Amino acid sequence: MLRIAFFEDSMVENFSPIAILRPVFELRCGHFSLRERVLRSLDVAEWGACVRPWMAESYREEHPESHVNDERWLKQGLTLLINGRWLFNPHQIVDADRDSVGVCGETIAWIVLDPDEVAVLDSEDWEEGLARLARRRRPVAVEGEMLSYPWDLVHHNPQRLTEDFFLRRRGPSLQIPQHQVAILGPIEHVQIDPLAEIDPFVVIDARSGPVWIEAGAKVLAFTRLEGPCYIGRDTQLFRALVREGTSIGPVCRVGGEIEESIFQGYSNKYHDGFLGHSYVGSWVNLGALTSNSDLKNDYSAVKVPLSGISVATGSTKVGSFIGDHTKTALCSLMNTGTAVGVMSMLLPGGELLPKHIPSFSRIWHGTLEGLTEEGLNAGLAAARIAMSRRNQELTPAAERLLRHAYQETTTERTRALQRAASLNAPNDPAKTGP
């Protein structure tokens, strides 16, 4: 049996805003996160995680069975370290050995750590320590993708949905009377848990890919599901049009049109409105008729302002990336390639919202404002209420993580406010003339 530890490298900064409150290996792609996929697929005796220090307490609380940033545990036996950005079929690593290092492109995908080598992993420069160990090993090229940005998760989601379906298929699908549900395409490409509830007048189209519906899910009448797609545990779909390439995690409430998008879980998009080529974190609420653009009018490649820095995606189809605990109000309109941070509030003013909305801020009728300490406390209070409605708790550790994120994003927020102020400043007559 394996001992496995998942680790983050310096590229994790590129996954803001959706990885501000979670390790990169907890981001969903297909049916699962990387960690979930590995632990479900392999015979793992114990597992650990090497995460950003301020995240350790909350992550340890969420996963008490794990060994988080635990040097003592690493010294107890051989441990297979897996890069949290590596998207792959877990069965590729069953033959990992101590003399080799798995390399995806030029990046370490996996390496077997000997207890005697733990001292090399300096806590101040953990990644450099790994690189020194890797130079002593024989490099082995591995299959899969090394993710670099949030839109990579969305881009690879359709393929991962299909692969996850066939990796875990349990047997014949639940047989539903044809007068209740219309199933288009191969019935064996539809997997519905017996504890899911499917209303009459639902269409499941598996002609372009498989469809998986988990236990406790409720699919209301006049919903259409197009594969490949995944509907998570206890999620409810309200007259929704779920287009191909969509993953909806657990305990979501979703309506309207969704295309090639990912919901991490515990988020709402109850009402009509379009969401395309986007990633939505947890505890997000998208108000009625909230919509985003995922294609520019001139069909040019999209740039996304990650942490306020414009990054070229190289793709023409890119939507929005929305951090945890963010809320949008009625008729919020998001531009192509929008990044919205953690615990932000979007109150539209009839125009497209800014493409960059930093964490812990709000848009008030077109004006960007940063949350004060008082505003942060109000946001935390709202989070407690929202989580209690799903039988979850904002624990003290989770609150400390949010408060830390508030401090960590101060510079980004300050720069965004300064930029907004300069754009809104009136012209100086002395400089512009009559």
The one-letter amino acid at 307: S
Q: What DSSP state is assigned to residue 307?
A: T
Instruction: Note the pLDDT tens digit of each residue in 304-314.
Output: 999 999 999 99
Q: How far apart are CA 29 and CA 316, in angstroms?
A: 20
**Any idea which of 158-172, 190-204, 373-387 has the lowest mean pLDDT?**
158-172
Percent of the chain at pLDDT exceeding 70: 95
pLDDT at 190: 94
* Two tokens, residue 373: 């300490």
Average pLDDT for residues 254-269, to the nearest whole number? 98
Instruction: Note the pLDDT tens digit of each residue in 231-252.
Output: 999 999 999 999 999 999 999 9
Instruction: Note the pLDDT tens digit of each residue in 334-343.
Output: 999 999 999 9
Q: How far apart are CA 231 and CA 250, in angstroms?
A: 8
* Two tokens, residue 95: 């033959």
Q: Between the CA atoms of 196, 200, 202 and 204, what dihedral angle is there, to the nearest 10 degrees?
A: 60
- pTM for the complete prediction? 0.94
If one compares 73 and 168, the residue with the highest pLDDT of the two is 73
pLDDT of 383 > 80? The answer is yes
Residue 177: pLDDT band (50, 70, 90) is low
pLDDT of 427 > 60? The answer is no
Average pLDDT for residues 68-78, to the nearest whole number? 95
**Burial group, residue 390, by CB count within 10 angstroms (0-12, 13-18, 19+):** middle
pLDDT of 176 > 80? The answer is no
pLDDT of 68 > 80? The answer is yes
Average pLDDT for residues 277-290, to the nearest whole number? 97
Q: How far apart are CA 366 and CA 99, in angstroms?
A: 58
Q: What is the mean pLDDT of the chain?
A: 93
DSSP secondary structure, 372-432, as one string: -HHHHHHHHHHHHHHHHTTT----HHHHHHHHHHHHHTHHHHHHHHHHHHHHHSPP-HHHH
- 182 in Cβ contact with 56 (< 8 Å): no
- 213 in Cβ contact with 191 (< 8 Å): yes
Is cis: bond before 434, omega within 30 of 0? Answer: no
Question: What are the distances in angstroms from CA 68 to CA 6, 51, 53?
Answer: 10, 7, 9
* Two tokens, residue 340: 């919205």
Max CA distance (Å), the chain? 79
